[in-house]
């Protein structure tokens, strides 16, 4: 069974940092492109990071570029999202999401982890 489980969310002050992780199981992580998507409370979905088969091909949405850094470890079957210089606008549920092998649409999502940026 395909499983993606995010962790590392919590409360952080504005200007602070947080590192999220995503543990993948039930499939070979190295065969899939991956993404991070977030959803602010009561709002819609916002795609923020695309990670190719390796860290070398990573693309960030303008809203997080320069502040967030994504990485993956295909051997450990995990992804990380380092979030720096956080603002209240970064408050959201963060989802780890898998692209279908051989294509670019997202077929599986983790349950998400909540990040709250507040003083």
User: Bridge partners of 54?
Assistant: none
Q: How far is the CB of 14 from another protein (least distance, A)?
A: 26
Note whether 26 binds another protein by CB under 8 A: no
Among 8, 21, 47, 71, binds another protein (CB under 8 A): 47
Pick one of 15, 54, 89, 107: the residue that binds another protein (CB under 8 A): 107
Q: What is the dihedral of CA 52, 57, 60, 61, to 10 degrees?
A: -70
Residue 113 binds another protein, judged by CB under 8 A = no
41, 44, 66, 102: which one contacts another protein (CB under 8 A)?
44
Rounded-to-integer distance, Cα 60 and Cα 65, Å: 5
CA–CA distance, 47 with 119 (Å, rounded to integer): 26
């Amino acid at each position: 069974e395909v499983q993606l489980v995010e962790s590392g969310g919590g409360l952080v002050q504005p200007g602070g940092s947080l590192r999220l992780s995503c543990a993948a199981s039930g499939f070979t992580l190295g065969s899939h492109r991956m993404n991070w998507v977030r959803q602010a409370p009561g709002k819609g979905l916002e795609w923020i990071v695309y990670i190719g088969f390796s860290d070398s091909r990573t693309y960030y949405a303008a809203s997080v570029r320069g502040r967030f850094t994504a990485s993956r470890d295909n051997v450990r079957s995990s992804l990380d999202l380092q979030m720096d210089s956080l603002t209240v606008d970064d408050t959201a549920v963060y989802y780890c999401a898998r692209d279908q092998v051989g294509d670019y649409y997202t077929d599986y999502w983790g349950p998400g982890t909540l990040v709250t940026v507040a003083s």
